[in-house]
Structure formats: structure tokens, C-alpha cells
Amino acid sequence: MADQPKPLMPHATASWLVDNTALSFTQIAEFCGLHILEVQAMADDLASSKYTGRDPVHSGELTHQEIERGQADSEYALVMQKAPVDVSRTKGPRYTPVSKRQDKPDGIAWILRNHPEISDAQIGRLIGTTRNTINAIRERSHWNIQNIQPKDPVTLGLCSQRELDIAVEKAAKRAAAAAPAEEAPTEEIEVPAAPVDPRGDKEKLIAELRQEREEAAKAAVEAAQEAEAEAWLEAKRESEANPAPEPGPEDL
């Protein structure tokens, strides 16, 4: 059954099967996805590390009936009863191997010196450290500050170059967004003149001419009235200055 899934902890499962069943080494090796010599070494206590056995029956990967079937027939290939659930780590800081953990302060110091724009949260995700450690190195209050030497975390194997580049890019964008925008010089924008409508101009001209004619006619009427009033006034003045003689007896 080469295509079936393997136990979640193959070495620990193989160790338990060696100690608690009469299955052949070949059956155990095939079920656990190990080499038969690894199983042989476990049986002979020659393995470099002693594994704590893990019961596959308790985890549901095997049943007692399946184990008995395999013990009865050494050619029988054990069948996985329940595939193990993949364990994925979704929260918490980046896992760093023990061999690399002593290099974390050096990587943190390098980032603080060369990329101060990177936030503490980004450093924590890149290196797999805490804010307290970052602040201690920044403030030079770390217990081992005398021995900390800034070193590229990529070279130390604490993160990849791509991860570091992405962090630097995000930090640069955040800094640019936070900086006050420079006032751009205002430029006078020439507004194009509205297109001239010849029909509108013609109508406007006709209206102006009509108004001028009306005003001229009104002025003429007023002038005629003034002239008539002036003539009447002049005639009255003349009659008052030269009154007509009263009629005599001979005119009666």
C-alpha cells in the first residue's frame, strides 16, 4: 500500500509496533514508510535515539483486528484505518531551530541598524522574537549586549532574502503614506472660451437694434412734447405781454 498515508509519527509508531506486536519488520516498515533497517535497529536497540512509542490503535490509525490480520499473515500489508490530520502552525512567532536561536540577537541588531523603518511587529515575524527582546537590544539593555554583533539575518538563516525584501518594501510604503504630502505648486489653468453660437449673436444684435429704435422713438415723442409745450408757453408769454385793446363805443 505505497499510496496510503503514513502515520503522523512514523518512528514512534514503529517503535510501539515492534514492542507490542508480532508484525514482521517488513510490515512495520511499509506501514510507517521507513526502511527495514531502521525498524531492525529499533528492535535491536541500536537506534541513535530511543523513541517513545505511540499507539496507532489509540490514534485510530490501526485497529486490533487489522494488527491481528497482519500477525496471522506476514505477507499482509497493513491498511491505514484513519489518515492522520496534518498539524499546521498558524499562530505564534516564527519557529527557529535551536541551533539558530543564539543568532537571533545579532539578526535583530542588524535590522535595527540598517532598516530602522521596519516595525517591531515585522521584526518579530521575520526573526521569531518578542517585542521585549527587540526593545532590549534597541535600548542596549539586553543581558548579552556586549557580545551582540549585527549580522545579516539572511546569512544567519533566520529568514529568506525575499521575506526581508518584502518587509523593507512594506515599511517604506508605510513611511511614505505617513509623511505629510508636499503641496504641489498650483498652476493657472486656462479655461477655453465657450464656442460662439452665431445664432445667439444675431438674436442679441436684433434685440439691441430693437431697443435702440424704441429708445429713439421714445426720445422723439418726448422731444415733440417738449417742443409743443415750449411753443404754448411762448405764446402765452407773448399774449400776456401784449394784451388785446378793449373795444370802444364805435366798435359797438
Q: How far apart are CA 120 and CA 139, in angstroms?
A: 13
Structural domain for 121, as ranges? 98-178
**Which of 143, 178, 213 is a domain's end point?**
178
Specify if 24 maps to a domain.
Answer: yes
Can you spell out the DSSP letters for 109-121?
Answer: HHHHHH-TTS-HH
DSSP state of 249: G
Q: Are 126 and 114 in contact (CB under 8 A)?
A: no
The three three-digit cell numbers of residue 75, written as one number: 505477507
pLDDT tens across the length of the chain (252 residues): 457 888 888 999 999 999 899 999 999 999 999 999 988 888 887 654 567 888 999 989 999 999 999 999 989 999 998 877 655 555 555 555 555 568 889 999 999 999 999 999 999 888 888 889 999 999 999 988 999 999 998 888 888 898 899 999 998 888 888 876 544 455 555 555 555 555 666 677 777 777 877 777 777 777 777 777 777 777 777 777 676 566 555 554
Q: Of 121, 117, 28, 110, nearest to 71 (Cα)?
A: 28
Q: Of 107, 109, 135, 106, nearest to 120 (Cα)?
A: 135
Cβ neighbors of 95 (< 8 A, separation 6 or more) are 89, 128
Q: How many residues does the chain have?
A: 252
Judge if 108 and 54 occupy the same domain.
Answer: no
Position 119 scores a pLDDT of 92
Position 213 scores a pLDDT of 76
Position 48 scores a pLDDT of 46
Q: How far apart are CA 226 and CA 212, in angstroms?
A: 21
Question: What one-letter code names the amino acid at 88?
Answer: S
Position 139 scores a pLDDT of 92
Specify if 183 maps to a domain.
Answer: no
Please report, in angstroms and rounded to a whole number, the separation of the first and last CA atoms in the chain: 167
Q: How far is CA 146 from the centre of its chain?
A: 39
Position 199 scores a pLDDT of 60
**Which of 139, 159, 178 is a domain's end point?**
178
Place of cell 500477525: 71
Q: Of 216, 203, 125, 215, nearest to 167 (Cα)?
A: 125
Judge if 25 and 66 occupy the same domain.
Answer: yes
Judge if 107 and 67 occupy the same domain.
Answer: no
Specify if 187 maps to a domain.
Answer: no
Judge if 45 and 106 occupy the same domain.
Answer: no
The three three-digit cell numbers of residue 61, written as one number: 490509525
The three three-digit cell numbers of residue 252, written as one number: 359797438
Position 184 scores a pLDDT of 47
Judge if 60 and 106 occupy the same domain.
Answer: no
- Number of domains into which the chain is organized: 2
